Amino acid sequence: MTAPPVFDARGLSKRFHMGQATVEALRGVDLQVSAGEVLVVAGPSGSGKSTLLHLLGTLDEPDAGALTIDGTPASSMGEAERTAFRRIRLGFVFQTFNLLPVLSAQENVELPLWLAGVSSGERRRRAHEALAEVGLGARRGHRPDQLSGGERQRVAIARALVHRPLAVLADEPTGNLDSGTAAEVMELLMSLNRAHGTVFVIATHDAALIARAPRRVALHDGRVASDERKASA
């Protein structure tokens, strides 16, 4: 018996109303992501990448279609359950890092553990470990405005992984980074995937990033235009 996919999306559709106009952001997307996969969702602006990530991350609900995450239908979860689910099972990385400016790197990384009710000693230890893993053990006392863009994104990645989630959803994680730093970040994500088996779903239109991804799903006008796996993967 094979394990169920981490994400199992069937016919996901999402519409937005912008004034009089209706924008079909997703038009029946089918997607299965298995445990340990690294998946890049590619496509031009407005192709529906971010919308798909929002739906997979339970930040929004589809208008049509069904989504099952780790065997649990997302539609069966209420607001509180979705919040709890995100807290425990998911991690997020954003283009603009979205760190809390009043907290140090260490405190930012501790945040998911604090939300999960982990004791302070345990929190400190695990956050320290996570920061060391992303190469920022020495800068854990710094606040975000004292860190470079790449360092900030590393903190964000540490924050996304510190509570050992099932999957991390990253929306344009290298969008605000120079190409050198972007490559480092991508390398980091890959190595973390190898180390922990965490699923990464990365929305990007960064060609370098796409080229390195083991699996590439291209979206066009809200539909899956192609779904390719690297032969070596």
Partner 1 sequence: MKLALLALRNLARNRRRTAISLAVVATGTAALLLTAGFMAFSFEGLSEAMIHGGLGHLEIALGSASAGRTATLERSPAEGLDDWEVVQRQVEALPGVLAASPTVHVAGMVSTASGTSAAFLGVAGDPARERRMGFSVKLRQGDPVPDAPPREGEDRVMIAQGLAQALGVGPGSRVTLLAVDLEGMLNALDVTVAGLITTGVQELDTRYLRLSLGSAQRLLGTTRVSNLLVTLDRTSRTEEALASVRSVLAGHQPPLAVVPWTERAPFYAQVEALYVGIFWFLGTIVFALVVLATSNTLTMTVMERFRELGTLRALGTSVWQVAGLIGLEAVWLGLIGGVVGDVLGAGLIGLLNAIGITMPPPPGAVDPIELRVVFVPEAFGGAILLMLTVLALAAVAPVLRVARLRIVDALTHT
* Binding footprint of partner 1 on the chain (CB under 8 A): 50, 54, 57, 59-60, 79-80, 83-88, 90, 92, 94, 96, 98, 100-103, 107, 110-112, 114-116, 120, 159
At 156, phi and psi to the nearest 5? -60, -40
> Does residue 202 contact residue 173 with C-beta atoms inside 8 Å?
yes
Return the number of the residue (37 or 110) whose C-beta is nearest partner 1.
Answer: 110
Q: How far apart are CA 140 and CA 200, in angstroms?
A: 24
- Shorter beta-carbon distance to partner 1: residue 108 or 174: 108
Tell me how many degrees the CA angle 119-110-116 measures, rounded to the nearest 5.
55
Residue type, 90: L
Distance CA 226, CA 110 (A): 38
Q: How far is the CB of 86 from partner 1 (least distance, A)?
A: 4
Q: Which is nearer to partner 1, 27 or 163 (CB)?
A: 163
Q: Can you tell me the distance from the alpha carbon of 29 to that of 146, in angstroms, rounded to the nearest whole number?
A: 41
Nearer to partner 1, 59 or 210 (CB): 59
**What does R_g of the chain's alpha carbons equal in angstroms?**
17
Residues 211, 91: Cα–Cα separation, whole Å:
23
The nearer residue to partner 1, 162 or 217, going by C-beta atoms, is 162
The least distance separating partner 1 from the CB of residue 202, rounded to whole angstroms, comes to: 16
